[in-house]
């Protein structure tokens, strides 16, 4: 197949659903890691096409959703400073901190700007040498190469007024945290294809071997996801636990070596807190000491800011697959996209946002 509509072809989707029904002889629980995959599943009703034996569990693969409250509070503190131009991707503006979000800072006069690339922030630092330009660097391995390149470029340009507030997270440690939980139900994974396009597949093999879970690298369209589910079920039925590539048109086993080298040059692995989950060892990226002068947490007095997660939000349970969005008492009432309690209701990859957009009215009816 060469064109996008082929990966949404109704006949192909029905054929794969039938193949899944034929392959499944017992109950299996499969987690799709990426929030983009979750939105496709809910939007197209793929979970409802599956036999009752197959349960899809939504995972923690939404970088906006897993950014903890204290990082938002640090962003708010920096963005409110008069000398700062604070740059962020759009989803982050509405993620609630303990008292306010970045959109509120902007409404109060803070210079908060929506950008589409970290290089936009570098350009702003060149254009405004009298201002401090801070880029909010979030994401999984997918966005790390571009953020690393921005730091390298800022270093080459000798920009003293550019820095990053880094909140990068890594997928494999989160998978291990899910599997180590006493509440874990996951028996197989659909891995995020765009992450694996950067990292390759080798880092997933120790997880498959240690926990005896199949991991299938999967794309984001209906045919991609159902093909990944079918591959995962066939492994489970045969007692295999391997890493398979269901997204070969994009993902190479070795990943993108130049991108990985750039990440390794600029960042080092570090502990990282996840919203509603807590700290996961070796699950984040931090700027190396050689690039520490671009670290916004060192440049501004915010590193000591801490915050507790709101007790009325069950984002952590949803992100770990312990509960579904519709099981949250606040869903659609106290928590909506306009007045969110947690990040999963804000992000375009959040599970709560997917259910609110595609299933809220149906469930109420």
HEC-encoded secondary structure of 117-153:
CHHHHHHHHHHCCCCEEEEEEEECCCCHHHHHHHHHH
Both 47 and 144 in a single domain?
A: no
Both 227 and 85 in a single domain?
A: no
Average pLDDT of the chain is: 94
Both 72 and 166 in a single domain?
A: yes
The dihedrals phi and psi of 81, each to the nearest 5 degrees, come to: -75, 135
* Sheet (strand 84-88) strand order: 111-114, 84-88, 132-139, 162-169, 278-287, 267-274
Is pTM beyond 0.85 here? yes
Total tally of structural domains belonging to the chain: 3
Instruction: Note whether 110 and 147 are within 8 A (CB).
Output: no
CATH of residue 136's domain is 3.40.50.11740
Both 237 and 274 in a single domain?
A: no
- Determine the straight-line distance between the first and last CA of the chain, rounded to whole angstroms: 39
pLDDT category of residue 4 using cuts at 50, 70 and 90: confident
- The answer to whether residue 176 is domain-embedded is no
Interval 117-155: pLDDT, tens: 999 999 999 999 999 999 999 999 999 999 999 999 999
- β-pairing verdict for 215-218 and 278-287: unpaired
Both 83 and 163 in a single domain?
A: yes
How crowded is residue 220: how many other Cβ atoms within 10 Å of its Cβ?
Answer: 18
Interval 284-331: pLDDT, tens: 999 999 999 999 999 999 989 988 877 888 988 999 999 999 999 999
- The answer to whether residue 269 is domain-embedded is yes
Q: Which residues of 269-308 are buried (b: 16+ CB within 10 A; e: fewer)?
A: eeebbbbbbeebeebbbbbeeebeebbbbebbebeebeee
3-class SS of residue 216: strand
Question: How far, in Å, CA of 196 to CA of 25, rounded?
Answer: 30
- The answer to whether residue 310 is domain-embedded is no
Under DSSP, the state recorded for 289 is: G
Both 53 and 77 in a single domain?
A: no
Both 103 and 234 in a single domain?
A: no
Question: How far, in Å, CA of 56 to CA of 357, rounded?
Answer: 19
Both 81 and 160 in a single domain?
A: yes
Which region among 122-136, 252-266, 333-347 has the lowest average model confidence (pLDDT)? 333-347
Range of the domain at 325: 315-357
Interval 6-38: pLDDT, tens: 889 999 999 999 999 999 999 999 999 999 999
Write down the pLDDT at residue 276: 81
Write down the pLDDT at residue 2: 67
pLDDT category of residue 275 using cuts at 50, 70 and 90: confident
Question: Which of 102, 94, 34, 32 has its CA nearest to residue 63?
Answer: 34
Tokens representing residue 230 in the block: 């079918």
- The answer to whether residue 14 is domain-embedded is yes
Question: How far, in Å, CA of 97 to CA of 69, rounded?
Answer: 5
Both 85 and 148 in a single domain?
A: yes
Both 233 and 334 in a single domain?
A: no
3-class SS of residue 50: coil
Write down the pLDDT at residue 342: 86
- The answer to whether residue 205 is domain-embedded is yes
How crowded is residue 250: how many other Cβ atoms within 10 Å of its Cβ?
Answer: 14
Residue with the two structure tokens 């072809």: 9
Question: How far, in Å, CA of 216 to CA of 237, rounded?
Answer: 14
Interval 64-101: pLDDT, tens: 999 999 999 999 999 999 999 999 998 899 999 999 99
Given a cut of 70, is residue 364 above it in pLDDT?
A: no
Question: How far, in Å, CA of 247 to CA of 255, rounded?
Answer: 12
Under DSSP, the state recorded for 6 is: G
Given a cut of 60, is residue 363 above it in pLDDT?
A: no
- The answer to whether residue 147 is domain-embedded is yes
Question: How far, in Å, CA of 299 to CA of 223, rounded?
Answer: 47
- The answer to whether residue 340 is domain-embedded is yes
Both 338 and 216 in a single domain?
A: no
Question: How far, in Å, CA of 268 to CA of 348, rounded?
Answer: 28
CATH of residue 13's domain is 3.40.50.11750
Interval 166-189: pLDDT, tens: 999 999 999 999 999 999 999 999
3-class SS of residue 301: coil
Both 223 and 125 in a single domain?
A: no
Write down the pLDDT at residue 309: 79
Task: Round the CA-based radius of gyration of the chain to a whole number and report it.
Answer: 21
Write down the pLDDT at residue 362: 60
Write down the pLDDT at residue 1: 64
Write down the pLDDT at residue 5: 83
pLDDT category of residue 365 using cuts at 50, 70 and 90: very low
Which region among 213-227, 254-268, 299-313 has the lowest average model confidence (pLDDT)? 299-313
- The answer to whether residue 345 is domain-embedded is yes
Beta strands in the chain (DSSP E): 28-34, 54-61, 84-88, 111-114, 132-139, 162-169, 188-192, 215-218, 243-245, 267-274, 278-287
Looking from the CA of 201 toward its CB, the CA atoms found within 13 Å total 21
Given a cut of 50, is residue 211 above it in pLDDT?
A: yes
Write down the pLDDT at residue 277: 86
């Amino acid at each position: 197949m060469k064109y996008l509509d082929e990966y949404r072809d109704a006949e192909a989707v029905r054929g794969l659903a039938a193949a899944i029904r034929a392959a499944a002889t017992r109950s299996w629980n499969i987690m799709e890691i990426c929030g983009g995959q979750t939105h496709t599943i809910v939007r197209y009703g793929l979970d409802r096409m599956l036999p009752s034996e197959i349960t899809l569990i939504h995972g923690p693969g939404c970088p906006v959703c897993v950014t903890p409250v204290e990082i938002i509070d640090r962003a708010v503190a920096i963005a409110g400073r008069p000398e700062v131009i604070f740059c962020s991707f759009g989803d982050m503006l509405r993620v609630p901190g303990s008292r306010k979000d970045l959109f509120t800072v902007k409404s109060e006069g803070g210079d908060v700007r929506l950008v589409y690339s970290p290089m936009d922030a570098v350009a702003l630092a060149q254009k405004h040498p009298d201002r401090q330009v801070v880029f909010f660097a979030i994401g999984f391995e997918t966005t790390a190469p571009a953020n690393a390149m921005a730091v390298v470029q800022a270093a080459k340009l000798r920009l003293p007024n550019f820095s990053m507030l880094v909140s990068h997270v890594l997928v494999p440690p989160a998978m291990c945290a899910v599997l180590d939980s006493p509440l874990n139900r996951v028996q197989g994974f659909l891995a995020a294809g765009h992450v694996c396009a950067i990292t390759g597949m080798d880092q997933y093999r120790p997880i498959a071997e240690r926990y005896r879970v199949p991991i299938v690298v999967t794309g984001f369209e209906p045919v991609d996801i159902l093909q990944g589910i079918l591959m995962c079920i066939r492994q489970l039925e045969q007692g295999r636990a391997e890493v398979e590539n269901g997204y070969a048109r994009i993902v190479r086993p070795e990943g993108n070596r130049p991108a990985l080298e750039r990440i390794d040059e600029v960042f080092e692995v570090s502990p990282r807190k996840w919203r509603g989950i807590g700290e996961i060892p070796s699950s984040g990226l931090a700027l190396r000491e050689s690039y520490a002068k671009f670290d916004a947490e060192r440049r501004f007095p915010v590193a000591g800011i801490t915050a507790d997660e709101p007790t009325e939000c069950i984002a952590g349970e949803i992100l770990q697959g312990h509960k579904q969005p519709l099981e949250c008492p606040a869903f659609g009432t106290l928590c909506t996209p306009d007045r969110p309690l947690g990040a999963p209701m804000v992000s375009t990859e959040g599970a709560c946002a997917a259910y609110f957009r595609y299933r809220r009215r149906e469930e109420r009816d």
